[in-house]
């Protein structure tokens, strides 16, 4: 079983969390053994949560500053957003040597991930995950952040929120 993890706001607008349900259906059709781990604050009374709660493939872990401690090197980070500003979770994963990423194609993302991680649509993303194709992000993000600056920026971000 492979853990697929999502870190971000549990929202349809921009983050398109609804696409995770579609991806789950595609992975189920392929009889793939997986589990989504969702690191996000969730309103359990929302209609959006209702669409997820009976699906046993999703584990909701809440917002965690130390989410990187819950994943392993075989886990795959999933991005299904319409767009990303500065994808902090990619940088945070990179800083902690977690570099397997499956991401939908969006403007500017090739500055953060290598082409092999990018999928044009959910069907291709599912195929890449199921075939265990190379989803290793080989982009050197140290040009964006050195470790000390990165840790300072992440700390400031978490203090802000």
- Say if domain 2-160 classifies as CATH 3.40.50.2000: yes
Please say if the pLDDT value at position 156 is more than 90.
Answer: no
pTM: 0.80
Domain ranges of the chain: 2-160
Q: Determine the Cα–Cα distance for residues 128 and 137; give it in Å rounded to an integer.
A: 14
Contact criterion met (CB below 8 Å) for 4 and 64: no
Report the chain's C-alpha Rg in angstroms: 15
Q: Determine the Cα–Cα distance for residues 94 and 141; give it in Å rounded to an integer.
A: 7
Cβ burial 78-93 (10 Å sphere, 16+ → b, else e): bbbbeebeebbbbbbb
Binning pLDDT at 50, 70 and 90, where does residue 72 land?
A: confident
What residue has token string 């999703």?
A: 58
Query: Which two tokens mark 109?
Result: 């993302």
Q: What is the pLDDT of residues 15-50, one digit of tens each?
A: 899 999 999 999 999 999 999 999 998 888 888 888
Contacts of 27 (CB under 8 A, 6+ apart): 34, 57, 126, 129, 130
Q: What is the pLDDT of residues 84-140, one digit of tens each?
A: 776 777 777 777 777 788 888 887 777 778 888 889 999 999 999 998 777 877 776
Per-residue confidence (pLDDT) for residue 66, from 0 to 100: 86
Per-residue confidence (pLDDT) for residue 146, from 0 to 100: 57
């Amino acid at each position: 079983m492979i853990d697929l993890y999502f870190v971000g706001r549990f929202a349809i607008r921009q983050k398109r969390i609804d696409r995770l349900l579609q991806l789950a259906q595609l992975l189920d059709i392929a009889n793939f053994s997986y589990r989504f781990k969702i690191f996000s604050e969730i309103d359990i009374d929302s209609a959006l949560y209702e669409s997820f709660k009976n699906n046993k493939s999703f584990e909701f872990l809440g917002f965690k500053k130390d989410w990187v401690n819950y994943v392993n090197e075989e886990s795959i980070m999933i991005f299904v957003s319409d767009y990303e500003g500065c994808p902090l979770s990619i940088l945070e994963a990179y800083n902690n040597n977690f570099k397997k990423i499956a991401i939908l194609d969006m403007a500017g993302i090739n500055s953060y991930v290598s082409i092999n991680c990018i999928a044009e649509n959910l069907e291709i993303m599912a195929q890449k995950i199921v075939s265990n194709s190379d989803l290793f992000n080989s982009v050197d993000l140290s040009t964006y952040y050195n470790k000390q600056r990165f840790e300072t920026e992440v700390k400031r971000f978490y203090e802000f929120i």
